[in-house]
Amino acid sequence: MLITAKGYKLLLHFIWTLLLAVVLSTLAQTQLNLLALQQLGVVIPASERWATSWHDIRHFAPVYAALLSVSYGISQGVALGLRRFIVLRWQPALFALAAGSGLWCTLLLVNAVAPMPTLIAASRSLMGMLVLLLIAALAGALFGRAVAAKSYLQNSRGGPARPTSTAVWLLPCLLLTVLNTEPASANSDYRVDTVVQGLEHPWSLAFLPGGTMLVTERPGRLRLVHADGRLEPEPIAGLPEVFASGQAGLFEVLPAQDFARSQQIFLSYACGSRRANHSCLASARLDLSRLELTGLTEIFRSYPAKSGNAHYGGRLVWLGDGSIVLSLGDGFDYREEAQRLTSHLGSLVRLWPDGTIPADNPFAAKRGALAEIYSYGHRNVQGLVYDSANNQLLSHEHGPRGGDELNRIEPGRNYGWPVVTQGIDYTGARITPFTAYQGMEPPLLDWTPSIAPSGLALYQGDLFPQWQGDLLVGALAARQVQRVRLTSQGAEVVEVLFTELQVRFRDVRTGPDGAVYLLTDEPQGHLLRVVPAALPAMQ
């Protein structure tokens, strides 16, 4: 049966109440995000507030409209089917309850299947979630009131219309794709050999004396690779209990500076449960003859506990004085914690190898601050390297959509997240109005669109003299390694490498033999060795 004139009016009521909910929800999302920044002491001028609101209307609203139209269409269709059993005056309440419940279920479902823990940032808090649900309920109540008042569901004979004559048809949701234009790989004279294959999401690579290598696998295994490239069949025993889920798992392995004598290694990993987890650091002695760890001791656990399974950081590096720096992510849903010195989230921490806190840490004497913090305002640092020749610590971190950063780390400095970023949220919403803010450090290099940097090495080998002193930046999303050169103005990309492999690069290392070693982030990941094309293959 064709839709009647009254049916078209019903459709118009559905559309305008849906649009009302989208606009109000978008403005609420914007103001809640800005409120979170204000609570950090950030001053937001009225002009920036209006500009951010307008940006979100243009970029976030279409994404939210696609999501809400599905939940709103289904929920209001259900309410239309149930209204005949409800007294007329209570029907708006029925439509309101259906709209709010439908959105709540949709957000739960989206968060369960999306890569990030929470897709719509406003729903991270109870207050934000309630605001979004109440706006949906308001739209539902208005739609239900129109249905009850106008009796749109009566057919020409006065009886209830058939469902086929009053169905509300929704346009298919558009799939939003972020386009990432990638420069062509330069014509470098190298060869890529496969050393080991079949590693499950390998995360970190470390070299031991004599050419032996250690590789971590994110699910919680530590593997030994012999100097000739043979992978020991069984993982090393005695590892700590690892929380492995999503981005959580076993991260970095770092041998002690005196490993030849002490046989000591350090491991960073996620510990706890999905509802309450931390980034942890442990030390142990590696018994190579028995392939097991002994004397395992946890020396650091991040504070506070967080839920979810995203953004842990996990990189480790030695500084010139023998202290260790560990990177910690912001936990995704906890981004404002990166600006608080009472939280380890979104910071770099510095420790002595026994877990004690260096007395010269920048906040060691600051009342109320966590003394381990070395720098803060980071999102998710997954690349750390110490340049001993220039006594500088360099890091890179993931931005959201855009805003990946390369930074030179100075103790006690604030690197801006989430007050400052070049990126926007995955939904298109602005995270902040600011790309620069007083007292916050600008990056040496910014990647927008995002390349998802992971793994960072300073090339100091002899096999590729033209790369000497350059940084090698692995990239997950861009599936490449970028050669980056530091300049007086910051840093610049001078070459894009290994795009022909079309794999996600998790770690990049300069080997003691001068070769470049790569780990690919795959269920069946590879350990690769890059050498000049003229060099004989690894035997």
pLDDT tens across 369-385, in order? 999 999 999 999 999 99
* Mean pLDDT, residues 487-494: 95
* Mean pLDDT, residues 401-415: 98
Q: What confidence score (pLDDT) does residue 115 get? A: 85
Is residue 412 within 8 A of residue 386, CB to CB? The reply is: no
For the segment 13-61, what is each residue's pLDDT rounded down to a tens digit? 999 999 999 999 999 999 999 999 999 999 999 999 999 999 999 999 9
- Given a cut of 90, whether residue 177 has pLDDT beyond it is no
Helices and strands, counts by H and E, the chain: 6, 23
* Mean pLDDT, residues 62-87: 93
Given pLDDT bands bounded at 50, 70 and 90, which one contains residue 8? confident
Range with the lowest mean pLDDT among 170-179, 321-330, 515-524?
170-179
φ, ψ for residue 90, nearest 5 deg: -95, 0
Is residue 501 within 8 A of residue 192, CB to CB? The reply is: yes
CA-CA distance, 37 to 25, in Å (whole number)? 19
- Given a cut of 70, whether residue 468 has pLDDT beyond it is yes
In terms of C-beta density within 10 A (0-12 exposed, 13-18 middle, 19 or more buried), how is residue 5 classed? exposed
Question: Which residues are CB-neighbours of 363 under 8 A, at least 6 positions away?
Answer: 341, 369, 370, 371, 373, 412
Range with the lowest mean pLDDT among 107-111, 185-189, 263-267, 504-508?
185-189
CA-CA distance, 72 to 278, in Å (whole number)? 37
Question: Which H or E run contains 474?
Answer: strand 471-475
- Given a cut of 80, whether residue 182 has pLDDT beyond it is no
Q: Is 151 left (phi over 0), alpha (psi -120 to 50) or beta?
A: left
CA-CA distance, 351 to 462, in Å (whole number)? 32
CA-CA distance, 96 to 250, in Å (whole number)? 46
Beta-strand runs (E) in 273-411: 277-287, 292-301, 316-318, 324-327, 347-351, 373-376, 381-387, 392-397, 404-409
> What is the DSSP annotation of 411-458?
TT-B--TTTB-S-B-TTS--S-SBS--TTSPPPSEEESS---EEEEEE
Percent of the chain with pLDDT over 70: 91
Given pLDDT bands bounded at 50, 70 and 90, which one contains residue 157? very low
- Given a cut of 60, whether residue 250 has pLDDT beyond it is yes
- Given a cut of 60, whether residue 237 has pLDDT beyond it is yes
233 cis-preceded (ω within 30 degrees of 0): no
CA-CA distance, 280 to 305, in Å (whole number)? 11
* Mean pLDDT, residues 460-471: 96
The C-alpha angle with vertex 395 and arms to 390 and 399, in degrees rounded to 5, equals 150
Task: Determine the distance from the C-alpha atom of residue 165 to the mean position of all C-alpha atoms in its chain, rounded to a whole number.
Answer: 46
* Mean pLDDT, residues 158-186: 36
DSSP state of 153: T
Given pLDDT bands bounded at 50, 70 and 90, which one contains residue 538? low
Please identify which of the residues 13, 278, 311, 526 carries the catalytic annotation.
311
CA-CA distance, 377 to 387, in Å (whole number)? 22
- Given a cut of 60, whether residue 165 has pLDDT beyond it is no
Is residue 411 within 8 A of residue 440, CB to CB? The reply is: no
Q: Which of 444, 446, 448 is nearest to 489 (CA)?
A: 444
> What is the DSSP annotation of 82-139?
HGGGS-GGGHHHHHHHHHHHHHHHHHHHHHHHSSSS-SSGGGGSHHHHHHHHHHHHHH
Q: What confidence score (pLDDT) does residue 83 get? A: 86
* Mean pLDDT, residues 336-351: 98
For the segment 294-340, what is each residue's pLDDT rounded down to a tens digit? 999 999 999 999 999 999 999 999 999 999 999 999 999 999 999 99
Catalytic site includes residue 311:
yes
> How crowded is residue 265: how many other Cβ atoms within 10 Å of its Cβ?
21
Q: Are strands 250-255 and 264-272 parallel, antiparallel or unpaired?
A: antiparallel
The C-alpha angle with vertex 359 and arms to 355 and 361, in degrees rounded to 5, equals 85
How many residues comprise the chain? 539
Domains of the chain plus CATH, in order, are 5-154 (no CATH), 190-532 (2.120.10.30)
Question: Which H or E run contains 81?
Answer: helix 46-82
Q: What confidence score (pLDDT) does residue 167 get? A: 36
Q: What confidence score (pLDDT) does residue 188 get? A: 57
* Mean pLDDT, residues 522-531: 97
- Given a cut of 60, whether residue 5 has pLDDT beyond it is yes
- Local structure of 492: helix, strand or coil: strand
Given pLDDT bands bounded at 50, 70 and 90, which one contains residue 269? very high
Is residue 285 within 8 A of residue 255, CB to CB? The reply is: no
Q: What confidence score (pLDDT) does residue 86 get? A: 84
* Mean pLDDT, residues 257-283: 97
Q: What is the mean pLDDT of the chain?
A: 91
Given pLDDT bands bounded at 50, 70 and 90, which one contains residue 151? low
Q: What confidence score (pLDDT) does residue 130 get? A: 97
* Mean pLDDT, residues 234-244: 98
* Mean pLDDT, residues 3-16: 81
Residue that has been written with the tokens 């041998």 in this structure: 255
**85 half-sphere exposure, CB direction, 13 A CA radius:** 6
Q: What confidence score (pLDDT) does residue 159 get? A: 44
Question: Which residues are CB-neighbours of 56 under 8 A, at least 6 positions away?
Answer: 26, 27, 29, 30, 428, 429, 430
* Mean pLDDT, residues 145-164: 55
